[in-house]
Copies of this chain bind each other. A is one copy, B any other.
Amino acid sequence: MRTRFQQGLDDLRQKLLRMGGLAEQAVDRARQAYVERDLTRCQMVLEGESLINTAEREIDEAAFDLLAMQQPMAVDLRFILAVTKINSDLERVGDQAVNIAERVMDMVELPATDLPVDIARMGAAVSAMVRRALESFIEGKVELAQAVLEMDSVIDRMRDDAFIQLVKTMNARPEAVRQALDALLVARNLERVADHATNIAEDVIFWVQGADVRHNVQTEGHETPESSQASSKPTHT
């Protein structure tokens, strides 16, 4: 039974990694779509959304099945709860990519104009955050997750700079207001992707630190409902 449960945990991890791959791909495509004013990539992002939504539901149900299957150890429980939370964040990363694609579709109908914002650079930084957050999950490493948390304030600053510069543009060049607004909203969407990457990193820390603590106080394999009743109180770090 334990083996089947472990197999289920491995499947859950694999499913979440595939979901992470889809979300990361959506952000990359949306960013490229912006930079190259590319409607084909916008369409790919929009079509990819339903794949991501389906993956989200499957992961939630798989997590539910695992929780229903047997009494998980605390470390496994924290892992499963972390997966359900990361799952929600990845789905919302996909939503942000869709928002960006929609902005790009608005933008390409307008004349191209130079704007004082480097969306390509900001997008690359945000993609790197998502990738690192997923790596911290794969490797279960708090240090990698911490690095993601530190990157978040860099992105916030980029967003603030974009905001200030683009408002100036709107004031000085009324004919470019809509393009500047599209860029500003894309910068905000990217910042929200960074927020989701931050949430993922925090969930990894919740899972790993909880797991470490549990390893210290308990070395048995599968808990019975009675033993878990007594020992279920997690120690928080």
Contacts and interface: CB of A to CB of B under 8 A. Distances in A.
Given A167-B181, A225-B225, A67 B61 contact: no
Contacts of A84: 81, 84-85
Interface residues of A, number: 36
Interface in A204-232: 225, 228-229, 232
Work out how many copies of this chain go into the complex: 2
A58 to B, nearest CB: 11
Interface in A139-196: 167, 170-171, 174, 177-178, 181, 184-185, 188
Contact of A77 (B64, B74, B171, B234): B64
Nearest to A232: B68
A78 interface: yes
Contact of A74 (B68, B167, B233): B68
Contacts of A177: 167, 170-171, 177
Interface of A: 1, 60-61, 63-65, 67-72, 74, 77-78, 81, 84-85, 88, 167, 170-171, 174, 177-178, 181, 184-185, 188, 225, 228-229, 232-234, 236
